[in-house]
Structure 1
Amino acid sequence: MNAHNWIDLSQDRSTGIETLRAHFKGHAYDPHWHDSYLVGFTEQGVQQFHCRRQKHASTPGQIFLLEPGDIHDGDAPTEEGFTYRMLYLEPHWIERELSQLFEDAPAQQVLAFAQNLTRDPRLSQAIADAFAALHSQELLIVRQSALDRLLEQLTGHLHWRKRHNPDPRLPLVALRARDYLQANVHQDVGLDELAQACNVDRFRLTRAFKAAFGLPPHAYLVQLRLAKARRQLANGDFPAQVASDLGFADQSHLGRWFVRAYGISPAAYRKRCSNLPD
């Protein structure tokens, strides 16, 4: 991270929700995805990112909404850079909480965002209030009240989607490859092995996978490992152990990928989210 960029990150222990306020100039982070719902807004400048095959430019007051698995990047197209606030909402938490609001929520469904970028002053204020309550570790009742207001405003931007009905536009070979990588995330999987598991040649495999998921297989595997690395670091595991557990060559190898994706080092992330000594 250069001298012009900074990140202020914290985690609420009772919900697991991470709160992040950050500023970037120039390139912010490479294409990556999270296993959380991302809800935030741009404070200052222009926040440019690609998601769902579209290029977005978020300006002050605009809200960005990303689902788990939404591949996105980030950069500042203007000299002044951009500042933003964001909440990482855990899927199990948001589904549990919303089920209390929707008693008739259909079974075997997941929550989805209709669009990645929107304007909604009430939702923007609710995000800001929830961020302030969590980030400053307010009283439990204050944090819970702020989150209830956030969910109340967020429901207008959510819709239900079938859980076990994959997009028919995704080639079967890409779905097979994805499932294989998820099942073997700790292994040193090569393209030959992956192509053999999918009964195709390497060229067809890579082309189908990138068309379906926006990343080639090797980059997708790295993202799977980085998502698990975040979990382990937040639980207090040391970067060297995490790197060894997840198949990175060493701690430096993990660190390079982690910074490119999240703009923060594994050690700094662990310190801010685990509340454990180094």
Structure 2
Amino acid sequence: MKEKRDDIRLWRDNSLHGGMEILRASCYEHSYPPHFHNEFVIAAFARGAQRTRVCRQKGIAAPGTVMIIMPGEVHTGEAVQRDEGWDYCAFYPSQTLINEVAEALLHGKGDVNFGKEGMRHDPLLARRLLQASAVINQSQDPLEKECVMYQALSSLIGRYGERTVTGSMHALLRADIRKAIDYLQCAYHQPVTVKEIAAVAGLSEFYFMRTFQSMTGLSVHQYLTQIRLVRAKGLLAQGISAAQVASEVGFFDQSHFTKYFRTHFGITPGAFAAASA
């Protein structure tokens, strides 16, 4: 039996700024399929190299790289060389939290963004982020964790952030596609068909599917799966069993839920729940 080398720890710290997900991982075999987050992804790379694609732009994250992915941006990740893999940490702060930290740091109005450059070689900032993730992972003191997180985000925002009124990715979507997404956000827990969703958008089925994938980077099914997994993590962090969560968010059964969860996050729902307790 092949030894599993991946060591992935993903958890939600409910004492950290109202609840934030943190990731510390050493990846070899695992690869992340196309997916998005409702929050920012702030990642720092310590060893090896990750091949990534963010909104169809490809790149390689080496040690000392800081990666910033805006909410809603579809991205992937895999090892450049399986034998080498890559080590990294990631934080998932909300747009609200980023804006609040920026209030004392940046001039201007509107939401904070970080420009079009998703990856920057900044060994000092990468080291600060990696150290912050280590403290948050080990500390039992909520105040210490909040302070180290604030300091890390302040360094990032002060260095690369800017405030603009250009709007989020959701605001840039066509109105009919936004209607479809809003429908999926409400109907995620029940079976749905392309015909039903396309009718909400006011488009023919095949034109809708093509347009949806072109604008979001995901098929309708992939997007719905993402919504279900996001909702599932919130319920698991509240201590609800995986079997009940699978049913509540719309998966056929617990085995399907576990399969998709492991594919997207590299760990089981039970491991996420245990780490978030």
Verify same fold: TM over 0.5: yes
> Residue 148 of structure 1 corresponds to which residue in structure 2?
150
> Which amino acid in structure 2 is aligned with residue 146 of structure 1?
V
Distance 1:128 1:61 in 2: 10
* Offset of residue 81 of structure 1: 1.2
Instruction: Give the SS at the match of 2:23.
Output: strand
- TM-score (normalizing by structure 1): 0.88
> Residue 97 of structure 1 corresponds to which residue in structure 2?
101
Instruction: Give the SS at the match of 2:41.
Output: strand
* Offset of residue 23 of structure 1: 1.6
Distance 1:194 1:81 in 2: 40
> Which amino acid in structure 1 is aligned with residue 9 of structure 2?
D
> Residue 8 of structure 1 corresponds to which residue in structure 2?
9
> Residue 84 of structure 1 corresponds to which residue in structure 2?
88
Are positions 1:121 and 2:123 aligned together?
A: yes
> Which amino acid in structure 1 is aligned with residue 119 of structure 2?
L
> Residue 256 of structure 2 corresponds to which residue in structure 1?
253
Distance 2:197 2:11 in 1: 38
Distance 1:2 1:210 in 2: 37
Alpha carbons of structure 1 residues 231 and 167: separation in structure 2 relative to 1, 3 Å? closer
Q: How many percent of aligned residue pairs carry the same amino acid?
A: 30
Instruction: Give the SS at the match of 1:19.
Output: strand
Alpha carbons of structure 1 residues 163 and 152: separation in structure 2 relative to 1, 3 Å? same
Deviations 1:213-237 (A, max 9, x none): 0011111111011111111111111
Residues 99, 105 of structure 1: 8 Å contact kept: no
- TM-score (normalizing by structure 2): 0.88
> Which amino acid in structure 2 is aligned with residue 68 of structure 1?
P
Distance 2:145 2:168 in 1: 35
Distance 1:272 1:165 in 2: 31
Could you tell me which runs of 5 or more consecutive residues in structure 1 were left unpaired when the two chains were aligned.
none
> Residue 31 of structure 1 corresponds to which residue in structure 2?
34
* Offset of residue 149 of structure 1: 2.1
Residues 240, 250 of structure 1: 8 Å contact kept: yes
Residues 72, 170 of structure 2: 8 Å contact kept: no
Deviations 1:68-105 (A, max 9, x none): 21211111121311111112223333333333545x65
Distance 2:5 2:143 in 1: 37
Instruction: Summarize the alignment of residues 126-205 of structure 1 with structure 2, pairs less than 5 Å apart.
Output: 126-137=128-139, 139-155=141-157, 156-162=159-165, 170-205=173-208
Are positions 1:217 and 2:187 aligned together?
A: no
Alpha carbons of structure 1 residues 259 and 154: separation in structure 2 relative to 1, 3 Å? same
Alpha carbons of structure 1 residues 130 and 215: separation in structure 2 relative to 1, 3 Å? same
Alpha carbons of structure 1 residues 245 and 168: separation in structure 2 relative to 1, 3 Å? closer
Distance 1:158 1:89 in 2: 14
Deviations 1:113-157 (A, max 9, x none): 222111223321321232122111154443333223212211122
> Which amino acid in structure 2 is aligned with residue 148 of structure 1?
Y
> Residue 242 of structure 1 corresponds to which residue in structure 2?
245
* Offset of residue 175 of structure 1: 2.5
Distance 1:246 1:148 in 2: 33
Distance 1:22 1:240 in 2: 26
Q: How many residues align?
A: 271
Residues 10, 135 of structure 1: 8 Å contact kept: no
Instruction: Give the SS at the match of 1:4.
Output: coil
Distance 1:98 1:197 in 2: 38
Alpha carbons of structure 1 residues 20 and 253: separation in structure 2 relative to 1, 3 Å? same
- Answer with 183-192 or 44-53: which moved more: 183-192
* Offset of residue 9 of structure 1: 3.4
- Answer with 254-263 or 146-155: which moved more: 146-155
Could you tell me which runs of 5 or more consecutive residues in structure 2 were left unpaired when the two chains were aligned.
none
